[in-house]
């Protein structure tokens, strides 16, 4: 199902949807855009939030269940999972969700992930103005959404071309039926043109194999000396998914699943104290190997979606794509980003 | 899900961050892309800053002592008991028998209210906080030399420096975001000189690493100044137009030749010459320093020596040139600014100034004592000798963080009344008569002031656990019970009073504090704040040189105690670990105490990585695991102070700097032996 939504009607559509389900949307704040529960705030559909939407499927910290001891027996209770509509997510993040589906869907499937995943509707916004850090085109993760989602939007100037792909997508459009106009062939032509331009605006030398070549050239120890071991790259990566489990509270408490980071030395430390990835350089090498060699073998897709968030968040003088020592602030002035 | 913009709780960088709140709980943290300091980045502690917030160990109700037990009580009873105990001590022994240790982890508003309570309600100037053990020498020395004891420029301005001299700061681990600006300057071509006895990461990346013997800083800094003058690299015009006292200083430093400095500090003379020419030739030279400079029994002299160097080269008052003390706590700058110090009111207004006295008396009513009070360690000594009877400690754990643990414990146990407010039970709350449960940074509103003088908002994201309360609330309540006025409807209200009484904060109000905050001095409501200080004049007119001379540290290794022990932090923990040891990922990284030693020393003693060793000084002894580290000099030991099971401060001494009253935490003579397996 296709339709056209004039721009000024978008808040009304969100209002309609907000009455039925919790809508998460990229809102504009004076400290940058971020995905939060939409309650009428102004939207920022231009800039990509630093924290990827995948935090709604794999929270940085989530209680898997609570445990309470009663008369010598333990009672377990799972938390309620809220139903959510994730609005305005980017094709790169959608591609990351497709990857996570494959990773967490391997036998045995990760129930905690799929409980959230099943309760989530996805509305994607195609990228007509990619950021300076973006290189999704080279990894076939954007700028047009190719992965399954419920509804796809494209900003074609004065409004959005809406393309529903699932029954949920049709229901979303039906909720705003009164606001919609018919989609015209020109809208589809405009979409193709804008996305072609967006593809061209991105660097052309960032494919999986090109990054593998950069990995072979990289001086990992020199890069590792620059790395500040903040873990930021793994916390903003929409594909990174490693976690740690801990029980907090005795005798009653919660079993927590917390995001972990392979950039921390403790992640790979063995019981006896030895560490196969002792240096930051070895850990950085591992991070890239996982994304560009291991995940492709396991899932058939590169473990990077080209969102460039690692480059945005890295406080060190490391070019996260070329794998050279160079401050992002030298070639890419911070003022330009602000 | 909502995302609440706030300021990080750990170091003095003051990074802007979002707390992700879902279902009334914090589920994540992320940096603000637009923040002038963090710009989309955080350090590992920052990324995990809110992890401890919902921890089950949190103090949830007020406690009072009954014999050996602390039992639950109501706020009313806890505060009534506190007020009655403080009043009876005040009546019987006078106000000088009371003291308040405020918190560098608290907000500006809380520090202001505590210092107001101490002065206006308790009638004492015995008010101090942990700055006494970190940057008291900076406040004293830079206050004298430059007229203000704070960082002279903005942290981000470091990226425009041509030469950066980093002294006694493990910046990549303790202030990682500051390090990122230093490394940014380096990738632009700036020269980096790192002075540290340990080979830190920054030392590995430096153009020049100077490794002095512990406690010999005045010798090599004077030597740099001496060489710079001899090579005619001093900024004569700046010295003439803007400073006093250069000639006397020059006379004093002329004795410090490269050879003599090498003899004292162990830094090769040729390296000193090289460092002097790098720094002397730079058109924008920055000096960055931290605890390695200040935590010495002559800490004030060392800071003054650095200030002398900056002044002689004209490196003050411009972007990328200046003196950059790195503060350890997120609000230790603010606690100082708020006058939580025994000799000044807010904004460093002297107690002895009749105008300041009159202004505060008019605002607060009643009387303010004129005589300066006791500093933190002096309060503990007074408790030990019995002249201090009642103490309030807010958000601090002196049993672990102050030197000479057994003496601190004895002093606190000797008090007639001890009240402690904190977010977790600590070694210090265990000794208290009344314990108050506090709201943490994510559960209250207020402001923090970062090390670059940036006043920023802290915002409530979730409710405090149980009956815990924001400290500003109980401070007002207690102040009123003690008979002084403290009627405020919100922290914003308190800030309005701070602004009305504190010229450097005069233009600050919550309405004006956007995501960038405001850097003081900000005297008026239309003032944009001050990034670079001292551009055309110093607050006290002309800057002051002061000659300083090298003195041997109070303890040097000898036959009985052949090692030189120094203390510090690990990258993954903060202070006494009350927060970071309850953050699962950080605790996983460094779960146990350790002592770092030189591999050659270890080999000679038959010690391997992980061997249990006993470290002893004249004060005490602890048992820890050995870690072999190439970066540690032969004969040196490095011990982090986060661990209650092996408290580093059981070993340190209380030799005080005569000016700033900081203790010598960086140099103790020690011995080490293998523990029986």
Instruction: Write the residue in B29, B47, B56 that is nearest to A230 by C-beta.
Output: B47
Flag if A32 and B32 touch (Cβ within 8 Å).
Answer: yes
| Residues ≥6 apart with Cβ < 8 Å to B206 | B166, B192, B193, B194
Mark which residues 23-62 of A lie under 8 Å from B by CB: 24, 29-32, 34-37, 50-51, 55-56, 59-62
Flag if A31 and B186 touch (Cβ within 8 Å).
Answer: no
Q: Chain A residues with CB inside 8 Å of B39's CB?
A: 334, 337-338
What is the least distance, in Å, from the CA of A224 to any CA of chain B? 10
What is the least distance, in Å, from the CA of A21 to any CA of chain B? 13
Q: Chain B residues with CB inside 8 Å of A244's CB?
A: 584-585, 588
Instruction: Write the residue in B40, B184, B590 that is nearest to A317 by C-beta.
Output: B184
d(CA A259, CA B266): 46
d(CA A37, CA A35): 7
Flag if B30 and A236 touch (Cβ within 8 Å).
Answer: yes
Which residue, B668, B658, B447, is CA-closest to B568? Answer: B668
Flag if B585 and A264 touch (Cβ within 8 Å).
Answer: yes
Q: Is the pLDDT of residue A333 over 50?
A: no
Nearest CA in chain B to A266: B589
Q: Chain B residues with CB inside 8 Å of A62's CB?
A: 27
User: Which pLDDT value is given to residue A334?
Assistant: 40
State how far the alpha carbon of B429 is from the alpha carbons of B10, B50, B64, B423, B510, in Å: 21, 22, 11, 10, 33
How many Cβ atoms sit within 10 Å of the Cβ of residue B651? 26
Q: Is the pLDDT of residue A331 over 60?
A: no
d(CA A254, CA A248): 5
Q: Is A246 on the interface with B (CB under 8 A)?
A: yes
Q: Which domain holds residue A99?
A: 2-337
Torsion of CA B189, B190, B191, B193, to 10 degrees: -140
Burial code of A202-241, b = ≥16 C-beta within 10 A, e = fewer?
beeebbbebbeebbeebebeebbbbbbbbbbbbbbbbbbb
Instruction: Write the residue in A55, A264, A315 that is nearest to B41 by C-beta.
Output: A315
d(CA B40, CA A31): 10
State how far the alpha carbon of B51 is from the alpha carbons of B19, B22, B33, B584, B620, in Å: 10, 14, 21, 8, 34
- Selected residue of A31, A81, A308 to mutate for chain B interface (largest B Cβ count, 10 A): A31
Q: Is the pLDDT of residue A338 over 80?
A: no
Q: Which secondary-structure segment (H or E) carries B226?
A: helix B217-230
Beta bridge partners of B99: B391
d(CA B500, CA B321): 32
Flag if A315 and B201 touch (Cβ within 8 Å).
Answer: no
Side-chain-side CA neighbours of residue A114 (13 Å): 11
Below-50 pLDDT ranges, chain B: none
Looking up tokens 């009546």, which residue turns up?
Answer: B91
Q: Chain A residues with CB inside 8 Å of B175's CB?
A: none
Q: Chain B residues with CB inside 8 Å of A82's CB?
A: 23
User: Which pLDDT value is given to residue A94?
Assistant: 97
Sign (positive/negative) of CA torsion B149, B154, B158, B162?
Answer: negative
How many Cβ atoms sit within 10 Å of the Cβ of residue A297? 8
Flag if B180 and A55 touch (Cβ within 8 Å).
Answer: no
Q: Model-level pTM? A: 0.95
User: Which pLDDT value is given to residue A165?
Assistant: 87
- Selected residue of B8, B30, B631 to mutate for chain A interface (largest A Cβ count, 10 A): B30
What is the least distance, in Å, from the CA of A122 to any CA of chain B? 16
User: Which pLDDT value is given to residue A335?
Assistant: 39
Flag if A55 and B20 touch (Cβ within 8 Å).
Answer: yes
For A126-184, write each residue's pLDDT tens digit: 999 999 999 999 999 989 999 999 999 999 999 999 999 899 999 999 999 999 999 99
Instruction: Write the residue in A30, A55, A266 that is nearest to B28 by C-beta.
Output: A55
User: Which pLDDT value is given to residue B214?
Assistant: 87
Task: Tell me: cis bond preceding A44? Omega within 30 of 0 counts.
Answer: no
Q: Chain B residues with CB inside 8 Å of A259's CB?
A: 28
**B477, B421 Cβ separation under 8 angstroms:** no
Angle among Cα B119, B121, B125 to the nearest 5 degrees reads 20
Q: Is the pLDDT of residue A125 over 80?
A: yes
Provide the phi-psi class of A72: left if phi over 0, else alpha when psi is between -120 and 50, else beta: left
Give me chain A's average pLDDT, please. Answer: 93
| Residues ≥6 apart with Cβ < 8 Å to A147 | A91, A94, A95, A97, A98
Give the count of Cβ contacts less than 8 A between chain A and B: 147
d(CA B289, CA B493): 35
Complex ipTM, two decimals?
A: 0.95
Mark which residues 102-141 of A lie under 8 Å from B by CB: none
Instruction: Write the residue in B32, B44, B56 that is nearest to A229 by C-beta.
Output: B44
Which domains, and CATH codes, for chain B?
Answer: 2-47 (2.20.25.90), 63-132+330-452+461-490 (3.40.50.740), 136-325 (3.40.228.10), 563-674 (2.40.40.20)
- Selected residue of A25, A54, A228, A328 to mutate for chain B interface (largest B Cβ count, 10 A): A228
3-state SS assignment for residue A63:
strand
Q: Chain A residues with CB inside 8 Å of B56's CB?
A: 248-249, 253
d(CA B66, CA A247): 33
Q: Chain A residues with CB inside 8 Å of B20's CB?
A: 51, 55, 60
d(CA A194, CA A200): 10
DSSP structural state of residue B473 = H
3-state SS assignment for residue A129:
coil
Q: How far is CA B526 from the centre of its chain?
A: 31
User: Which pLDDT value is given to residue A315?
Assistant: 93
Identify the band that residue A328 occupies on the pLDDT scale cut at 50, 70 and 90: low
Nearest CA in chain B to A269: B589
Q: Chain A residues with CB inside 8 Å of B35's CB?
A: 31
Torsion of CA B206, B211, B214, B219, to 10 degrees: -100
Q: Is A215 on the interface with B (CB under 8 A)?
A: no
Q: Chain B residues with CB inside 8 Å of A268's CB?
A: none
Q: What would you report as the CA-atom Rg of chain B, rounded to the nearest whole angstrom?
A: 24
Identify the band that residue A329 occupies on the pLDDT scale cut at 50, 70 and 90: low
For A192-240, write each residue's pLDDT tens digit: 999 999 999 998 888 999 999 999 999 999 999 999 999 999 999 999 9
Of A21-35, A282-296, B373-387, B663-677, the least confident:
B663-677
Q: Is A151 on the interface with B (CB under 8 A)?
A: no
Nearest CA in chain B to A62: B27
Nearest CA in chain A to B176: A228
| Residues ≥6 apart with Cβ < 8 Å to B554 | B297, B653, B655, B664, B667
Identify the band that residue A332 occupies on the pLDDT scale cut at 50, 70 and 90: very low
Q: Is A313 on the interface with B (CB under 8 A)?
A: yes
Instruction: Write the residue in B18, B27, B43 that is nearest to A61 by C-beta.
Output: B27
Beta strands in A21-70 (DSSP E): 22-27, 34-37, 61-70
Q: Is A290 on the interface with B (CB under 8 A)?
A: no
Flag if A34 and B27 touch (Cβ within 8 Å).
Answer: no
What's the residue count for chain B? Answer: 677
Number of domains in chain A: 1
Flag if B159 and A329 touch (Cβ within 8 Å).
Answer: yes
- Selected residue of A315, A317, A338 to mutate for chain B interface (largest B Cβ count, 10 A): A315
């Amino acid at each position: 199902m296709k339709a056209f939504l004039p721009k000024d009607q978008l808040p009304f559509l969100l209002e309609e949807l907000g009455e039925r389900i919790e809508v998460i949307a990229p809102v504009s704040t004076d400290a940058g855009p971020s995905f939060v529960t939409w309650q009428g705030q102004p939207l920022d559909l231009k800039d990509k939030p630093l924290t990827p939407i995948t935090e709604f499927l794999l929270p940085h910290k989530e209680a898997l269940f609570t445990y309470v001891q009663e008369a010598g027996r333990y009672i377990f209770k799972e938390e309620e999972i809220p139903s959510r509509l994730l609005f305005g997510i980017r094709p790169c993040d959608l591609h990351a969700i497709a990857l996570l589906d494959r990773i967490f869907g391997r036998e045995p499937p990760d129930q905690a992930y799929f409980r959230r995943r099943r309760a989530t509707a996805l509305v994607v916004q195609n990228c007509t103005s990619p950021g300076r850090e973006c290189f999704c085109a080279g990894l076939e993760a954007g700028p047009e959404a190719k992965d399954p989602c419920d509804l796809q939007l494209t900003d074609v100037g004065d409004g959005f071309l809406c393309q529903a792909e699932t029954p949920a997508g049709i229901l979303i459009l039906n909720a705003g039926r009164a606001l919609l106009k018919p989609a015209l062939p020109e809208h589809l032509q405009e979409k193709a043109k804008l996305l072609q331009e967006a593809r061209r605006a991105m660097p052309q030398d960032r494919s999986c194999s090109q990054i593998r070549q950069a990995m072979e050239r990289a001086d990992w120890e020199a890069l590792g000396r620059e790395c500040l071991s903040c873990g930021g790259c793994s916390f903003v990566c929409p594909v990174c998914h490693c976690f740690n489990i801990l029980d907090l509270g005795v005798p009653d408490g919660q079993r927590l699943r917390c995001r972990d980071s392979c950039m921390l030395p403790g992640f790979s430390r063995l019981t006896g104290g030895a560490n196969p990835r002792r240096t930051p350089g070895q850990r950085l090498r591992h991070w890239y190997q996982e994304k560009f060699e291991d995940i492709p073998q396991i899932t058939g897709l590169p473990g990077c979606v080209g969102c460039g968030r690692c480059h945005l968040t890295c406080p060190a003088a490391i070019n996260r794509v070329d794998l050279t020592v160079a401050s992002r602030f030298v070639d890419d002035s911070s003022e330009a980003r602000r | 899900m909502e995302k609440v913009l706030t300021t990080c709780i750990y170091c003095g960088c003051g990074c802007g961050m979002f707390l992700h709140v879902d279902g009334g709980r914090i589920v994540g943290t992320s940096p603000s892309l637009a923040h002038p300091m963090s710009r989309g980045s955080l350090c590992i502690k920052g990324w995990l800053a809110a992890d401890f917030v919902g921890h089950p160990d949190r103090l949830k109700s007020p406690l009072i002592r009954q014999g050996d037990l602390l039992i639950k009580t109501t706020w009313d009873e806890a505060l009534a008991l506190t007020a009655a105990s403080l009043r009876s001590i005040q009546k019987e022994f006078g106000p000088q028998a009371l003291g308040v240790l405020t918190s560098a982890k608290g907000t500006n508003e809380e520090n202001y209210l505590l210092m107001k309570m101490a002065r206006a309600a308790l009638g004492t100037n015995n008010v101090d906080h942990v700055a006494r053990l970190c940057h008291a020498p900076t406040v004293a020395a830079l206050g004298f030399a430059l007229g203000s004891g704070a960082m002279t420029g903005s942290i981000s301005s470091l990226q425009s420096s041509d030469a950066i001299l980093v002294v006694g700061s493990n910046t990549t681990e303790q202030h990682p975001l500051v390090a990122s600006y230093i490394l940014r300057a380096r990738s632009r071509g700036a020269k980096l000189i790192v002075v540290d006895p340990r080979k830190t990461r920054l030392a590995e990346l430096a153009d020049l690493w100077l490794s002095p013997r512990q406690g010999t800083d005045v010798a090599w800094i004077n030597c740099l100044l001496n060489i710079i003058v001899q090579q005619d690299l001093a900024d004569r015009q700046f010295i003439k137009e803007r400073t006093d006292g250069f000639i006397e200083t020059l006379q004093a430093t002329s004795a410090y030749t490269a050879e003599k400095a090498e003899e004292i500090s162990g830094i090769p003379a040729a390296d000193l010459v090289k460092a002097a020419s790098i720094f002397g030739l730079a058109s924008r030279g920055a000096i960055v320093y931290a605890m390695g400079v200040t935590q010495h029994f002559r800490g004030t002299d060392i800071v003054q020596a650095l200030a002398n160097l900056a002044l002689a080269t004209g490196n003050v008052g411009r972007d990328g040139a200046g003196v950059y003390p790195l503060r350890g706590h997120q609000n230790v700058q603010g606690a100082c600014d708020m006058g939580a110090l025994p000799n000044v009111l807010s904004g460093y207004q002297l107690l002895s100034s009749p105008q300041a006295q009159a202004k505060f008396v008019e605002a607060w009513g009643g009387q303010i004592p004129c005589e300066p009070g006791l500093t933190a360690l002096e309060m503990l000594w007074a408790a030990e000798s019995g002249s201090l009877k009642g103490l309030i400690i807010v958000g601090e754990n002196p049993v672990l963080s102050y030197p000479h643990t057994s003496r601190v414990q004895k002093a606190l146990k000797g008090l007639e009344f001890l009240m402690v407010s904190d977010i977790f039970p600590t070694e210090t709350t265990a000794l208290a008569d009344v314990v108050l449960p506090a709201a943490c940074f994510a559960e209250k509103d207020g402001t923090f002031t970062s090390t670059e003088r940036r006043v920023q908002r802290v915002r409530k994201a979730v409710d405090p656990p149980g009956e815990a309360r924001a400290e500003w609330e109980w401070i007002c309540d207690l102040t009123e019970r003690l008979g002084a006025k403290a009627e405020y409807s919100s922290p914003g209200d308190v800030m309005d009073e701070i602004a009305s009484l504190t010229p450097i904060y005069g233009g600050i109000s919550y309405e004006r504090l956007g995501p960038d905050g405001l850097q003081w001095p900000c005297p008026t409501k239309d003032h944009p704040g001050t990034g670079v200080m001292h551009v055309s004049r110093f607050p006290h007119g002309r800057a002051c040189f002061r000659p300083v001379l090298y003195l041997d540290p109070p303890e040097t290794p000898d036959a009985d105690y052949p090692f030189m022990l120094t203390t510090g932090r690990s990258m993954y923990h903060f202070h006494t670990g009350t927060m970071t040891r309850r953050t699962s990922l950080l605790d996983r990284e460094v779960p146990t105490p350790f002592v770092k030693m030189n591999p050659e020393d270890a080999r000679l003693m038959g010690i391997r990585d992980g061997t249990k060793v006993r470290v002893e000084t004249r004060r005490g002894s602890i048992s820890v695991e050995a870690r072999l580290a190439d970066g540690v000099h032969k004969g040196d030991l490095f011990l982090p102070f986060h661990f209650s099971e092996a408290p580093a401060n059981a070993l340190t001494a209380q030799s005080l700097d005569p000016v700033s009253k900081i203790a010598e935490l960086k140099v103790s003579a020690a011995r080490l032996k293998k523990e029986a397996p």
